[in-house]
Structure formats: C-alpha cells, structure tokens
Amino acid sequence: MNDETPGVHYQISVTGRQAAAFFLGLLVALALAFYFGMRTGAAATKGPGVATTLAQVSDLSVPTPPATAETPPGKPEEVKLGFAPAAKPAASSPAPAPAPEPTAAPTPRPEPTAVPPAPTPAAKAAKRAGPFYAQVLATQKADVADETTKKLRADGFQADVTPVPGKPGWFRVRVGPFADRNKAEAAAAKIQKVEKTKHRPLVVP
C-alpha cells in the first residue's frame, strides 16, 4: 500500500481590471512621495544656515567676517573657493604738472635803413675835378673855328681853338676854363643868349 499523497498546487488568477487598479495605486504612491519630498527640501532651504544652527547647538561661537563698506552688516562676504579677493589699487596722487619750457627771447629785427638814391649823371659830372669848359663848336674847318673864336673874344668871352684828342683834323672852340661846373653852365647859358645859337654849348672837362 502506497502511503504517499499527491502534492497540492495553488494557482492565482488576476483579471485585467485588478492589474489596472494595482498599477494606478502604484503611480499615486510615487506622486505622493515626490510631493512630500519637495516640501521637505523647500522647508530645509528656508531654514537657518548651517553656521547658525551649529552656533545654536554648540557652545563654540562661529566667527563672522567684519562688516565693510561694500558688505552690509549681518551678511558675510562670499569668497569663491580657490580665489582670494583682489586688493583694490590705492588712489594714485595726481602727477605733478610739467614745468614750462623756457622760451627764447625774440631776436630784434634790424631797422631798415634808407638807401641813398643813385647819383644822376649831372651829379656825377659835378663831382669831377675841374677845370670845366663851355664847348661852342667842333669842326674840321680851321677857318670857321678861327672866325668863331674871334667873334667870341669880341663879345667878351675867353675863347680858344684846340685839336680834338683822338680825332685828327678836328678842331674845337671852347670858352673857359672855370673852377667848377656851375660856373661853366652859367657861361654856356650866357653864350647861347648873346650869340643867339640854336644849341646850347656843352660843358666838358
């Protein structure tokens, strides 16, 4: 006789509606967990800082940085890790003004001097040394020269006949000599008036 009894097998059957309800309940549980987690994180952010909490719990005081003009009291200045705050350059004093360069005294301009006028031919002739003569005639006819000389002597003039230098065969009739040119000019004007000639005698040295 066989005493062994056959094994018992259990079978669980889940309908589609039951599976959908289970899945929906799982989603609701996850959503609630996420919501409460966000609330807890926000409350922790708004709570007191770590330094304040440690100061309240521990007997040791946590030093706070001194307040500066740029950092208002009660708010410690934040320092980035690995970088020290750069020191501000001290206000530089204004550079001294450059000394004015010495200027050279202006050089006085020479005053223009009056230029004397050029002497005229008459003035040049007047400066020549005498004696001077009033030449009445120059001719190649000796008899004409002799007659003119006789007539001038008859009218009171001191006349003579001499050959022309550098011109062979030429003769000149002159009245003079005179110490200066002015007297020779006066004699030439008188000869022209007395002898009634067309041309005034030339004054020559």
Domain boundaries, the chain: 16-62, 125-204
pLDDT range class, residue 147, cuts 50, 70, 90: very high
CA distance 50 to 33: 26
CA distance 146 to 172: 10
- pLDDT higher than threshold 60 for residue 79: no
Helix 181-195 and helix 142-154, axial crossing angle in degrees, nearest 10: 100
Which DSSP string do the residues of 56-82 spell out, in sequence order?
HHSSSPPP-PPP-SSS-TTSPPP--TT
- pLDDT higher than threshold 80 for residue 99: no
In the chain, which residue ranges form alpha helices assigned H by DSSP?
Answer: 16-46, 50-57, 121-127, 142-154, 181-195
Q: What is the mean pLDDT of the chain?
A: 74
CB neighbourhood size of 76 (10 A): 14
Single out the residue of 94, 51, 92, 86 nearest to residue 70, CA to CA. Answer: 86
Check residue 89 and give its pLDDT. Answer: 52
* Residue 150 Cα distances to 105, 144, 157, angstroms: 79, 10, 10
CATH architecture of 125-204: 2-Layer Sandwich (3.30)
CB neighbourhood size of 54 (10 A): 13
Single out the residue of 183, 77, 61 nearest to residue 131, CA to CA. Answer: 183
- pTM, rounded to two decimals: 0.39
Who wins on pLDDT, 86 or 150?
150
pLDDT range class, residue 7, cuts 50, 70, 90: low
pLDDT range class, residue 8, cuts 50, 70, 90: low
Residues β-bridged to residue 202? 135
Q: What is the separation of C-alpha 167 from the centre of its chain, rounded to a whole number of angstroms? A: 75
